[in-house]
Structure 1
Amino acid sequence: MGFSLKRIDGFITALLKRETDPINQARIRVLAYIILGYIFYSGILIVAYILEKEMLQLIRAIFTFVSCFVFLNIIKNFGSWKVVSHLIICFLTLTVWSNLSIFVMGVNVATLQYVWFACALGFYMHDINWAWFYSAMNVLPIVIYTATDNNFYFLGSGPHHIALNTYIFVICYNFGFILFLHYYFFKAFHRNFTNLTYAKNELKELNEKLKLTLTDLEKLSKDRMNFLSTMSHELRTPMNGVIGISNELLLQNPRADQEENMAILKFSADNLLALINDILDFNKLESDKAELENIAFDLHILLENNFASLRPKAQEKQLDFRFEMDETIKGKVLISDPTRLTQVLCNLLSNSIKFTAEGAVHLSAKLVKQTADLMRIQFLVEDTGIGIESHRQDEVFEAFVQASSSTNRKYGGTGLGLPIVKKILHMFNSQISLTSEKNAGTKISFSIDFRYTELDLSKIETIRNKPAELGHLRVLVAEDNHVNILVIKKTLERWGISPAIAENGVQALEQLEKEDFDVILMDLNMPELDGYETSIAIRNLQAQSKSSIPIIAFTATTNNNVSRKILEAGMNDYMPKPFKPEDLFDKLQQLNAVKSPN
């Protein structure tokens, strides 16, 4: 007996494999129990009706018995349990009608049981529309019959007499299945509602924990940003001194052995600065704190400057290093973020130079689409370097990953260059495309849509190329770090400028009261009054000649928040530390050109 029940349960479990919804699983299970029960039920009736020689009842019982096997096979082979449930309800409905018209010719207990059974199955197995339809198909005939016949209700089996024991068996069995149907479905619904309530409570607790976790993560992210901001300042400030003094020493006609040592020192300092910048930049991009600027620039000049800065490295390796640009792009003023574009191109070109021992590194800028106000420009960087194996080409865009461990040992680097490029291009709504072959070279391309204008840059170029006459500029340097003071002072003195020095914001205001200046170089982190407070105080001075002095901020912390605060404090521009002498020279030259355009 136990073995048989186990086999039946295994058979029913196999029927559930196609269905994942727990309610539907309960429907299939109860449908299978009903069909199996009616095989047993109709089998007993077949024997009883044969013994009683009740042919019409026997035919109906045989039909029921055969139909049950057909229904099981439909569910097993096709999973069409809904079709089977419709057929069963239709069969029960026909039983009700046949009882009214043939077998009972009235309403007895068994007929009412079939009505209840059909209505209950309609509601439990199907949606509300089908349930009402089947209920109407079963209840209305009873109501009509009762309204038109005086014989309302009786307990007997009807004109086709069957043995009392068989009739009692039919009634009890039907009652049993009606009770089982209600019991099983209410049990299934109760279990599911209990599970839903439990899941809801669990979800609520999980949400509370998630909120706490998110709060902790936000605090951790904020602390990380503050830490990196502090580290940015703390790392860049001494690097400013190392690189600045290295530059100065190299310009003082050192001996050959000294020049070699200082060149190594400068090279190492530049590499360390690049490493610091990569880590800080990646953190900024990873936390979605970076935003693109909209600045007018000449792409041809930007590419020339990029090539000029990287040409020495390419020449050291005797590489064919050049770039090509469509003539239609020249003379156009693009409006976008030249700093981020420079970062992308420098990363790609530096990589190509690093990983190319001999051959060529080329850059091309090609116009692929143009409208009245937009230009789509495709950039292509190609080299004849070591290449990247096909199965590693996606991985090189992941942070801290390089093409192989041997690459890291031989060439060094953090593995942040290409991930930074990918994130910046995503900000430009662009995607990077890489084609590479091991030991044959690499091609990397991307396209960017730029807004552009036809502005005339001839005046700007005239100013840019005009010989510098900076010696007459009166410059106030507000800086508390003595190494930085030395670096800035030596840099300015090389251009004939003798700066005044203020070691905090209070001293800067005092100096400004005593004399006039053409420009102020303002450090942001100073004692007494910091750069922001000092700049606000300067902008609030009564004398316009002093309140309108151009202020260039010097900061070792570069992010969007700092940039915004610099502008809000009334400063005109800023330079990151360590600064490049040529960048400072360029800014002072432009200020000089504005003050005396002739």
Structure 2
Amino acid sequence: MQSNLISLAFNKIGGIFNHFLIKEPNPINRARIRMLSYILVCYLLFTGVLTISYFIAGEKLHLIRVSIVFVITISLIAITYFTHAWKIASHVILIVCTLGVYTNISIYVQNVNLETIQFVWLGILLSFYMHGLKWGWFYSIINILPVMIYTAIDNKNYFYIGTGPHEVSQLTYIFATYYNFVFITFLQYYFFKTFNKNFVSLTNTKNALNEINEKLKTSLHDVENLSNARMEFLSTMSHELRTPLNGVIGISNALLLQNPREDQEENLAVLKFSAENLLLLVNNILDFNKFSSDKARLENFAFDISALIQSNFSSIKLKAEEKLLHLSLHIDEILKNKYVISDPTRLTQVLSNLLNNAVKFTGKGSISLTVKVQQIDANMMDVMFIVEDTGIGVETERQENIFEAYVQATPSINRNYGGTGLGLTIVKKVLNMFGSKISLLSKPNVGTRISFNINFNYQQVSTQNFKETDNGKTELSHLKILVAEDNLVNILVIKKTLERWNVVPDVAENGRIALTKVEENNYDVILMDLYMPEMDGYEATVCIRNLDDKVKASTPIIAITADVNDAVIEKNLLAGINDVLPKPFDPEQLFAKIKQLTGVSAVVESEIKC
């Protein structure tokens, strides 16, 4: 009961400055403010008792000093309460304490007694506790200095300054001495209790943070494993989807080149268009995951930019005609037959997504694609692309978020038009890779205008190396090509593609047969599938690169695979594969790669041993 009352009393005393104490974020400063409240209240009581005692005893000089301290204490309580200037108040207390040391030695005691030592001790402790090291040293020195001076001169020339020592009653002296001892001890206890509490709190916080960090590490490891598993799954799904699509698109291309009847040509065009749309969706999903893991990279190929733009625009013709939309394409004359060095696949991805979106969200009216050169110099040209439609448009408040993943213009868009909501996200990310930004202007029920600029390197490149010319059917006819592929549909697609150029390839159903054929024959190019039974494309490539016959070992190898990601490309380079062509492949790209590699004669040394 008694301890509870004492605790309650101290809580009341420590809470007199609570109105500004709660605003102090630093726990040490909060402890200092509470210490100040204890000092002021306790010394108000202390000096009040001494004032009465000195008045009764008739000790006028002591009464004057203690009365001054009493008035100062009341003033400091008021000043601190109303101005929150607790640091100034603590400086005043330290100055009063220091004056107590000086007046004791020079006037009241004229000696270094126990009370004087207490004042010195109190001044040293308070200065360090309340104001830190710099002020602590300052007040310590000015409090210790008179004691040191007195001690130094005491044995040599003892003298009094002033009117002589003034006696005080033993009871009063004992009260003052014991009170000071108890108060100094309490201040020590309170400060170190608070310090220890904060130290324990910090230690507990540190331990808690360490536990959280360990949990985060575990969670991050799990997330990384999950992400890798997701990428592995998507890569597998991409491979499984690309393989049949390669057959559909490849055979469609072959049939379209065999002069089909008009009705057959229309059906084949629809088939090809649908397959290419499905391929675009597969590519978008896979690329979105690449972008999420920062694994997407731009490649550099020479391609006819005008032809690529026309091809992309033609891809929407059938669907636009079904909706009776008016199409218009405007390409700057400077771009006609101009070859640029960039990534045609990524540019196609941007244009296909934008053009397909324009067709999807336009019920009536028109769609236009304008491509014009903004600036041109010796090696670079700045090209602006503008896609405009008269579709449903995008509300102003949603335009900023329309390029975020899975976001569509309104909640009803997905129900009415379908789609994954990834197209514009991928467009933005690809354009970031090109160093370009997309601009969107749109009004609901009026239409949308999307534009962007890309800087292209257009170094003069021989078109003979990158395009199947009129003589293309005989240009590769002298080459001997080996196709290593286990899928019968893919074999048929590649054979029909090569037959366009009067090339009759040899076929190996797995890597082991391919290795045997290379040992027995000389080939100009090997088209290698990566995933085959008995011996896959990697193992077969490694063994070919390690053949004793350096001519056979240096045979150019193009990997034709449905699994194209950075890990696959790195593995290809390590195995010694010269180039990679993704399935479904573009015949013109295959033609260009064969033309490039048939001039390669340097032996590629593999880092792996067969």
Q: TM-score, normalised by structure 2?
A: 0.82
How far apart are the structure 2 equivalents of 1:362 and 1:400? 25
How far apart are the structure 2 equivalents of 1:330 and 1:249? 29
What residue identity is the alignment partner of 2:93?
I
Structure-2 change in CA distance of 1:517 and 1:149 (3 Å): closer
| 2:420 is equivalent to residue 422 of structure 1 | no
Q: CA-to-partner distance for each residue in 1:3-56, whole Å, 9 max, x for gaps?
A: 766654554444332322222222222222222222332333344444445555
CA contact (8 A) 1:367 1:378 kept: yes
Q: Which residue of 1 aligns with 2:207?
A: 201
Q: Pairwise mapping of residues 371-450 of structure 1 onto structure 2 (< 5 A)? A: 381-428=387-434, 430-446=436-452
Which segment is superposed worse, 104-113 or 486-495? Answer: 486-495
CA contact (8 A) 1:146 1:152 kept: no
* Structure 1 position 536, deviation (Å): 3.2
How far apart are the structure 2 equivalents of 1:197 and 1:389? 53
Q: Secondary structure at the match of 1:107?
A: coil
Q: Which residue of 1 aligns with 2:100?
A: 95
The counterpart of 2:128, out of the listed 123, 130, 136, is 123
The counterpart of 1:468, out of the listed 472, 495, 507, is 472
Q: Secondary structure at the match of 1:126?
A: helix
Structure-2 change in CA distance of 1:535 and 1:3 (3 Å): closer
Q: Which residue of 1 aligns with 2:292?
A: 286
How far apart are the structure 1 equivalents of 2:83 and 2:280? 66
Q: Secondary structure at the match of 2:482?
A: strand
Q: Which residue of 2 aligns with 1:138?
A: 143
Q: Which residue of 2 aligns with 1:506?
A: 512
* Structure 1 position 136, deviation (Å): 0.1
CA contact (8 A) 2:393 2:442 kept: yes
| 2:110 is equivalent to residue 105 of structure 1 | yes
Q: Which residue of 1 aligns with 2:194?
A: 188
Q: For structure 2, which runs of at least 5 residues remain unmatched after alignment? A: 602-610
Q: Secondary structure at the match of 2:23?
A: coil
* Structure 1 position 427, deviation (Å): 3.9
Q: Pairwise mapping of residues 184-333 of structure 1 onto structure 2 (< 5 A)? A: 184-248=190-254, 264-295=270-301, 303-310=309-316, 318-323=325-330
Q: Which residue of 2 aligns with 1:177?
A: 183
* Structure 1 position 465, deviation (Å): 4.3
- Percent identity between the two aligned chains: 54
The counterpart of 2:173, out of the listed 167, 178, 181, is 167
CA contact (8 A) 2:465 2:592 kept: no
How far apart are the structure 1 equivalents of 2:426 and 2:275? 21
How far apart are the structure 2 equivalents of 1:285 and 1:417? 13
| 2:541 is equivalent to residue 535 of structure 1 | yes
The counterpart of 1:568, out of the listed 547, 564, 574, is 574
How far apart are the structure 2 equivalents of 1:589 and 1:176? 98
* Structure 1 position 292, deviation (Å): 3.3
CA contact (8 A) 1:557 1:576 kept: yes
What residue identity is the alignment partner of 1:488?
I
Q: Which residue of 2 aligns with 1:41?
A: 46
* Structure 1 position 183, deviation (Å): 0.5
Structure-2 change in CA distance of 1:94 and 1:363 (3 Å): farther
How far apart are the structure 2 equivalents of 1:448 and 1:258? 39
How far apart are the structure 1 equivalents of 2:120 and 2:333? 85
CA contact (8 A) 1:361 1:384 kept: no
How far apart are the structure 2 equivalents of 1:240 and 1:286? 26
Q: Which residue of 2 aligns with 1:351?
A: 357
* Structure 1 position 276, deviation (Å): 1.5
* Structure 1 position 400, deviation (Å): 1.9
Q: Secondary structure at the match of 2:103?
A: helix
Which segment is superposed worse, 554-563 or 65-74? Answer: 65-74
Q: Which residue of 1 aligns with 2:483?
A: 477
| 2:21 is equivalent to residue 16 of structure 1 | yes
How far apart are the structure 2 equivalents of 1:401 and 1:492? 43
How far apart are the structure 1 equivalents of 2:381 and 2:64? 84
What residue identity is the alignment partner of 1:469?
K
Q: CA-to-partner distance for each residue in 1:57-89, whole Å, 9 max, x for gaps?
A: 445444434444544455555544333323322
Q: CA-to-partner distance for each residue in 1:536-568, whole Å, 9 max, x for gaps?
A: 333444556644443321101011121222233
The counterpart of 1:553, out of the listed 539, 559, 565, is 559
Q: Secondary structure at the match of 2:445?
A: coil
Q: Secondary structure at the match of 1:469?
A: helix
CA contact (8 A) 2:14 2:34 kept: no
Q: CA-to-partner distance for each residue in 1:177-208, whole Å, 9 max, x for gaps?
A: 21111111121222222233333333444444
How far apart are the structure 2 equivalents of 1:73 and 1:377? 75
* Structure 1 position 516, deviation (Å): 4.5
What residue identity is the alignment partner of 2:461?
L
Q: Secondary structure at the match of 1:396?
A: coil
* Structure 1 position 141, deviation (Å): 1.2
How far apart are the structure 1 equivalents of 2:563 and 2:402? 28
How far apart are the structure 2 equivalents of 1:29 and 1:269? 78
CA contact (8 A) 1:293 1:337 kept: yes
CA contact (8 A) 1:383 1:441 kept: yes
Q: CA-to-partner distance for each residue in 1:474-508, whole Å, 9 max, x for gaps?
A: 43321101222233333444554433322112222
* Structure 1 position 401, deviation (Å): 2.0
Q: Secondary structure at the match of 2:544?
A: helix
Structure-2 change in CA distance of 1:522 and 1:28 (3 Å): same
CA contact (8 A) 2:15 2:34 kept: no
Q: Which residue of 1 aligns with 2:460?
A: 456
Q: Secondary structure at the match of 2:413?
A: helix
RMSD of Structure 2 on Structure 1 (CA): 3.9
Q: For structure 1, which runs of at least 5 residues remain unmatched after alignment? A: none
Q: Which residue of 2 aligns with 1:29?
A: 34
How far apart are the structure 1 equivalents of 2:409 and 2:367? 20
How far apart are the structure 2 equivalents of 1:441 and 1:208? 52
Q: TM-score, normalised by structure 1?
A: 0.84
What residue identity is the alignment partner of 2:241?
L
| 2:69 is equivalent to residue 64 of structure 1 | yes
How far apart are the structure 2 equivalents of 1:272 and 1:67? 88
What residue identity is the alignment partner of 1:468?
G
Q: CA-to-partner distance for each residue in 1:135-193, whole Å, 9 max, x for gaps?
A: 00100111112222359999xxx844555444333222222221111111121222222
CA contact (8 A) 2:94 2:126 kept: yes
Q: Secondary structure at the match of 1:553?
A: strand
Q: CA-to-partner distance for each residue in 1:336-366, whole Å, 9 max, x for gaps?
A: 5444344334333433343334234444555
Structure-2 change in CA distance of 1:430 and 1:182 (3 Å): farther
